[in-house]
Amino acid sequence: MKKDDAYWKAKLTSEQYRVLREKGTERPFTGKYSYHFDKGVYTCAACGSKLFSSDNKYDAHCGWPSFDQVSDKDNVEFVEDNSFGMQRVEVVCKNCGGHLGHVFDDDRVKTTGKWYCINSTSLNFQKK
């Protein structure tokens, strides 16, 4: 899904554009899905691709929505991110290229050993 900046600036709020297109991060504990535990599916706020299930969401006490796995591996890709002097793995929507957050190895996550730390701004929610 190749779209130019003008398209994304018209479609997204300024905060969504900053996070999804410019790889920003929302401030912790400010996102609408940080403490959201309704049943349903989290989708990409830019293109609507299915990303995470509420069944895989948990409270990591970090200020961002946290998941232990993605819903559809075909809808995300992982990119090495060495910005800000850190070695991380960025989680990106495969359909539109939107920045979602990062994934970390975390042995406290007993189910998968993975902690997906995702920006609320990058998500929409479809209630079951």
What is the pLDDT tens value at each position of the chain, 128 positions in all?
A: 789 999 999 999 999 999 999 999 999 999 999 999 999 999 999 999 999 999 999 999 999 999 999 999 999 999 999 988 889 999 999 999 999 999 999 998 888 999 999 999 999 999 98
Q: Annotate 9-22 with b (16+ C-beta within 10 A) or e (fewer).
A: eeebeeebbbbbbe
Q: Of these residues, 44, 93, 96, 117, which one is catalytic?
A: 117
Please identify, in words, the CATH class of the domain defined by 5-127.
Answer: mainly beta
- Domain ranges for the chain, please list them: 5-127
pTM for the whole structure: 0.94
Amino acid at site 115: W
What's residue 1's pLDDT?
73
Residue ranges of E strands in 35-87: 40-44, 50-53, 57-58, 66-67, 76-81
What's residue 74's pLDDT?
95
Q: Is 117 a catalytic residue?
A: yes
